[in-house]
Structure 1
């Protein structure tokens, strides 16, 4: 696991946690179960640094629970996290998103093989640009 990839996803987890805290502050859910859920969320996040494999499975479970328990914020869950944790999280990505992430992984692999730098966000933005085939002909 590349360190910059892990750091990117840890930052996204921080963002998602702040959204979850705001949902709790708005008293939209039972406080006790929400506090326990945030505790598990924090354990999973810290575990990514010490026992990545076990924490990845817990992360899959937690992200799926975020979408199922908090449907009002499901659209705010970063898509990169769904890809990062994989497994059951793939069920929440469209076929187009899965294709894009697979292409990103292929680009990253080629860059690593060639000893070239790879910026996930920059590549993702580059892929989102329309191609000549997408633009209307004049």
Structure 2
């Protein structure tokens, strides 16, 4: 069974998959290449729970392709996915956003080391608040 962090990102990937499928159904993209792209995307969905580390490069490649091939939905790509896959995906994130995610990741790691629960959404909200984000 996948850990909660991985499960969360799988849910985001499934959500993005529904958006991509809707693009094809609305005939807004070339059908043949879109179908092949969705096959590779589905491959990622099945491989990621089995081997998260081996799936990183495929995830990076596919997310970058989503932004480049489908600019009309680039704003709908969850930022959490860009951070999760890292690599070239990080080029689509501004420095202040990278700083926020770096702090989030450090807090998550610290919580894991101390066997404490970690709520990604709550911590993200706290860090995004005006001020230094350390008031909790």
- Cα distance in 1, alignment partners of residues 132 and 84 from structure 2: 30
Match of 1:42 in 2: 42
Is the CA contact (8 Å cut-off) linking 2:59 and 2:85 kept in structure 1? yes
Whether the 8 Å CA contact 2:104–2:120 is kept in 1: the answer is yes
Compute the TM-score of the two structures, normalised by the length of structure 2: 0.92
Q: 1:33-112 residue pairs with structure 2 within 5 A?
A: 33-112=33-112
The structure 1 segments of at least 4 consecutive aligned residues displaced by more than 4 Å after TM superposition are: none
Aligned to 1:28, the other structure's residue is in SS state coil
Unaligned runs of 5+ in 1: 134-138
Partner of residue 136, structure 1: none
Distance apart, 1:42 and its partner CA: 0.5
The equivalent of 2:23 in structure 1 is: 23
Q: Are the equivalent residues in 1 in contact too, given 2:67–2:73 (CA < 8 A)?
A: yes
**1:6 counterpart = 2:6:** yes
Structure 1 contact 45–55 (Cα < 8 Å) conserved:
no
Between 110-119 and 89-98, the greater mean CA deviation after superposition: 110-119
In structure 2, do the counterparts of structure 1 residues 53 and 28 end up closer, same or farther at CA, with 3 Å as the change threshold?
same
Number of equivalent positions: 132
CA distance in 2 between partners of 1:10 and 1:123 (Å) = 20
8 Å contact 2:100–2:128 — kept in the other structure? Answer: no
> Is there any run of 5+ residues in structure 2 with no aligned partner, and where?
none
Please state how far the C-alpha of 1:131 moved relative to its aligned partner.
2.6
Q: CA RMSD in A?
A: 1.5
Q: TM-score, normalised by structure 1?
A: 0.91
Counterpart of 1:56 in 2: which secondary structure? Answer: helix
Contact 2:111 2:117 in 1 (8 A): yes
Larger Rg: 1
